Amino acid sequence: MATPYHLLLLLLLLLVPLASSSADREVLLALKEAVTNDPAAVLSAWSSSSSSDHCHWRGVTCHPSSSAVAAIDLPAASLSGALPALLPPRLLRLDLSLNNFSGPVPAAFLASPTLRALNLSSNRLSGPLTFPPSNSSPPCPALAHLRLAANFLVGQIPAALAQCRALRVLDLSRNVLEGALPRALGRLAALRVLDVSRNSLTDRIPQELAGCRDLAVLVLTDPASPGDQPEFNAFLGLLPPEVATIPTLQVLWAPRANLDGRLPSYRNSSCSLRAVNLGQNYIAGPVPPWLGECGDLTFLDLSSNSLEGSMPAQLNIGCMKYLNVSRNSLSGPFLSSMDSVCSSRLIDDDVLVYHYYQGLVGNALIGNPFGSMLGDITRAAVHDFSNNGFAGALPSIDLHLGENYSYGLLLNSNAFNGTLSGGFFGFCKGASGIAVNLSSNQLSGSLDMVSTCTALQAFEAAENKFSGSISHSIGDLHLLRSLILSGNNLTGEIAGRFANLAALEVLMLDHNRLSGSIPPSFSELAQLSVFDVSFNNLSGDIPYLRHSADCTFFVGNPLLSSCLGPNASVPLSPSNNRQKWTQRLGRHMTRSKILMVIVAAAATAIVSFILAIVLFFVYERRKRAKIVSFRRKAVVTFADAPPELNFDNLIRATSNFSIQNLIGTGGFGATYKAELAPGYLVAVKRLAMGRFQGLQQFDAEIATLGRIRHRNLVTLIGYHIGASDTFLIYNYLSGGNLESFIHEMGSKRVSWAEVYTIATDVAQALAFLHCACTPRIIHRDIKPSNILLDEDLNAYLSDFGLARLIEVTQTHATTDVAGTFGYVAPEYATTCRVSDKSDVYSFGVVLLELMSGKRSLDPSFSQFGDGFTIVTWGRMLMQEDRTSEFFSPGLWDTAPKYRLTEMLKIAASCTSESLAIRPSMRQVAARLKQLRNEQ
Ligand SMILES: *[C@@H]1O[C@H](CO)[C@@H](O)[C@H](O)[C@H]1NC(C)=O
Ligand SMILES: *[C@@H]1O[C@H](CO)[C@@H](O)[C@H](O)[C@H]1NC(C)=O
Ligand SMILES: *[C@@H]1O[C@H](CO)[C@@H](O)[C@H](O)[C@H]1NC(C)=O
Ligand SMILES: *[C@@H]1O[C@H](CO)[C@@H](O)[C@H](O)[C@H]1NC(C)=O
Ligand SMILES: *[C@@H]1O[C@H](CO)[C@@H](O)[C@H](O)[C@H]1NC(C)=O
Ligand SMILES: *[C@@H]1O[C@H](CO)[C@@H](O)[C@H](O)[C@H]1NC(C)=O
């Protein structure tokens, strides 16, 4: 029976939470208010009507037996809008990842006294990451998980993050953050995961990071997955030894991070490393033996560095799923520890680490050259020792990975001599698939042992000295899909038992000394699509083949009856014929065919989860295609563009990019002049681009370029991006470019004042790009044709930022040197390492041209032999005290000689081969400025 006392109690129980939770409710409604677009009506039930209990709203979790909100989880809900300024007072977790929120990360989020997990990854958040002004209480006392990946955050990583002492996970990857990694982060003693990959970070990696005594995952760069945002982090110097040897570190990921120096030669502490990726850096010295003590190490990528010496014998190769040391200068015979037993410790303790390990390692395995031939990557291992100087006998590698794994071994392009013994194929036992590449070594003897490896799917041994005949028993390799033995010394006949190889897709036996006829049973090989027997001594008829119809695969066999493929009916003109032969000799075409075939074959064997990944990419591509078509015909403009600037007008005014309007061509595309209204001229640069990779990234990059303004930079007014065409719109400059100006110096006198103005203008523009603008920009292609002039001969630098733009948005961004021969700094040309000092070099070359009226590779230098440029010429004249001969004749007669000589000295220091001697652009600009007042 309800007494009045009971009723009162009931009332109190109802009212207390209601009163204390009204603030929570208000904050939730403010969040709903801030959402401008909710296409899936996720927040439809979030209503101010008093009858609705906010603890039951979608995504809301309240503290037990209270109405205070404990968590808001609305990931992947398609929400757009800004983030609200306030959070519920007792909120522990906020997950708004995978939405479309824009604007800044509210400072209040980072100041919440209760928040433990904040996940705003994969939104469109922008601006710098700011903390509330620090007062007495430290911000973010409880914050353990901070994920802000895949947004558009700019500026530096704030050192104030170090005040969030509880941080365990800090994921800032895939933003536009720049500057150095703050030293203060080393104070985060609880940090387990730090991911700063795919930003624009620079500078040295602070050794203070070693203060994170619990760090398990450190991801500094990650250029891996295609179709995603590319990597621009480029650090300076070496990976500090203290950081590389943090005892708790399990995943160390810094491929293509611009690191140099050496790896620490010893370590003081035990090693927990499981996955190390330092591939594609500039690391020199030996592979440190202590890696052999890392018993859990299963992934090691040190490829494409400058490592030398031998492989440490202690390294437990047989236990490693992925080992890549290709493209180094490693040498010596090859020892692998024999009696190794793999540690069976799994990553059980830490879901977080496991997640990173799987993600990063999985990507690398999927990307291996054997592709999906290796099947399920969780049961695959790949070891790549190719492109080194390993010599002596072939190694014998025993794998300890259990049964039914597949294995790829690349030993190609080394100096292995010796023969192929049965011991080499020890790893075949118990394997379900094997792919081996031994091409381009000095191996000799017979190939008989190959047929003992019954799991063999691909075997390459081209360009060796193998001799003897191809054993009949090769017909027992039922899994064999690809066999490449080109360029050996093989003799005898092609066995009829090849026809047993039902899976065979690629068979290349060209450039050997095989004789006899091609067995007619080859027509039974249904999968065979590349069959190359060119340049042997074969005779008889070419059997009917199901796929191969390319007659170039049969040339060079004088006794073979003529080929009747579809190509045979086309009469070859002599030049056509020669072209084909050249192609054959270059063996370029066949290689790419093999690749096609392997890719095709991959599709059939793909396991279901790889399929899922493919589907995902297809979906992504569709999505991108949709965005592109959606944008067709739109011109995006930055501030102050008149209405005449639109797509139709541009097409009309350039007469649909007609040659009459062409005013220049360059590495990034052709430029057209367009008069949009009487007297209103623009220059339209039509970008020579391939397939798009990241539209969002393109927008972000181009918006950055659009913001950059300087007196001596051409102004980017707008851009258009469409399915077939992408172009940039600049202000038009009527004075042509510096290339023509220099060219005309022979016939027209130029004055010191003109030369001086152009030189200082360009120097200031470059100094600005290097030092004063954000992000800092390295031009990478300074040359006279990229310097434009107006009527008064003021100079303007163009094409800045395009090297990066192209790289960011193209699927096949080249990592090649972007510059132009004759202007590229020697260290850039040889190492592809770009720095602001490479621009300084190119500027020096332009300065030399401007003073002499000669081109960098002037025809008059040919008398001095190859490789002689304006730089060598200038140096030679200076050494021989014939400086006056350097200058354009009119100039030397009229200009102040002291200043002219000083300017030559500046140019000489800019073009010094030593980076240390080369001044910075800021110093150059300052020195040129001084010159105005001297004598
Ligand atoms: C995402 O938000 C932006 C505004 O920031 C808006 O223009 C765009 O349409 C939104 N996209 C989606 C898919 O809602
Ligand atoms: C967001 O981050 C939190 C904390 O790291 C995590 O628990 C949650 O799963 C993440 N959300 C998504 C959608 O991944
Ligand atoms: C190893 O320990 C010594 C002395 O304790 C120290 O000086 C050195 O820096 C440590 N090396 C590394 C790589 O941590
Ligand atoms: C090894 O690394 C190089 C790049 O450094 C890459 O081209 C190659 O495909 C890698 N090998 C394997 C087996 O993944
Ligand atoms: C391999 O080369 C080494 C030195 O380059 C030589 O001593 C050795 O005899 C060679 N072995 C064979 C089998 O040719
Ligand atoms: C090929 O083998 C023959 C013997 O069968 C030998 O005389 C010849 O020198 C070898 N050629 C090469 C290039 O090794």
Rounded Cα distance, 239 and 255, in Å: 12
Amino acid at 98: L
Q: What is the mean pLDDT of the chain?
A: 82
What gap in Å lies between CA 600 and CA 464, rounded to an integer? 28
CB atoms within 10 A of CB 157: 23
- Ligand 3, atom 12, residue with closest C-alpha: 242
Residues with CB under 6 A from ligand 6: 465, 467, 489
Count Cβ atoms within 10 A of the Cβ of residue 870 and give its class: 0-12 exposed, 13-18 middle, 19 or more buried.
buried
For ligand 2, say whether the CB of 117 is within 6 Å of any of its atoms. yes
Q: For the ranges 130-144, 487-501, 628-642, 657-671, which has the lowest average pLDDT? A: 628-642
Q: Which amino acid is at 575?
A: S
Residue 685 assigned as binding residue: yes
Question: Cα(198)–Cα(223) distance, rounded to whole angstroms?
Answer: 7
Cα(437)–Cα(370) distance, integer angstroms: 10
Alpha helical stretches, state H, 734-780 = 738-744, 752-767
Residue 236 in this model has a pLDDT that exceeds 80: yes
The sign of the dihedral angle between the CA atoms of 786, 792, 794, 799 is negative
Look at ligand 1, atom 14, and give the residue with the nearest C-alpha: 80
**pLDDT confidence tier of residue 423, bands split at 50, 70 and 90:** confident
Count Cβ atoms within 10 A of the Cβ of residue 455 and give its class: 0-12 exposed, 13-18 middle, 19 or more buried.
buried
Residue 909 in contact with ligand 1 by CB distance below 6 A: no
Please report the beta strands in 15-95, taking only residues with DSSP state E, as ranges in sequence order.
35-37, 60-62, 69-73, 80-82, 93-95
Instruction: Please determine, for residue 797, whether its predicted confidence score (pLDDT) is greater than 50.
Output: yes
Residues facing 516 on adjacent strands? 538
Which of 864, 850, 862, 869 has its CA nearest to residue 911?
869
Contact predicate 503/475, CB 8 Å? no
Please determine, for residue 70, whether its predicted confidence score (pLDDT) is greater than 70. yes
Q: Assign residue 140 a region (left: φ > 0; alpha: ψ between -120 and 50; beta: otherwise).
A: left
Give, in order, the Cα–Cα distances in Å from 302 to each of 315, 362, 383, 385, 911. 13, 17, 12, 10, 33
pLDDT in tens, 639-666: 667 778 888 888 888 888 877 787 877 6
Chain position carrying tokens 């006899």: 516
- CA atoms lying within 13 Å on the CB side of residue 68: 14
**Is residue 363 classed as helix, strand or coil in its secondary structure?**
helix
% the chain with pLDDT above 70? 82
* Higher per-residue confidence, 604 vs 833: 833
CA of 489 to the centre of ligand 6 (A): 6
> Is residue 593 predicted with pLDDT exceeding 60?
no
User: Which amino acid, residue 32?
Assistant: K
- Active site positions, annotated: 781
Q: What is the pTM of this model?
A: 0.65
Q: What does the pLDDT read at residue 810? A: 52
Mean pLDDT computed over 536-552: 81
The answer to whether the CB of 271 is under 6 A from ligand 3 is no
The answer for residues whose C-beta is within 8 angstroms of residue 881's C-beta and 6 or more apart is none
Asked if 719 contacts 685 with a C-beta cutoff of 8 angstroms, the reply is no
The span from the CA of 522 to the CA of 531, in Å, is 10
- Residue 52: the pLDDT is 80
Q: Supply the residue whose CA is at minimum distance from atom 7 of ligand 1.
A: 80
**Pocket probe mutation, ligand 5, options 416, 417, 421, 466, max atoms within 8 Å of Cβ:** 417
Retrieve residue 54's tokens. 């906010």
Structure confidence at residue 17 (pLDDT): 42
Pick the residue whose CA is nearest to atom 10 on ligand 6. Answer: 489
CA of 557 to the centre of ligand 4 (A): 36
Q: How far apart are CA 607 and CA 630, in angstroms?
A: 34
Task: Find, among 207, 217, 204, the residue nearest to 258 by Cα.
Answer: 204
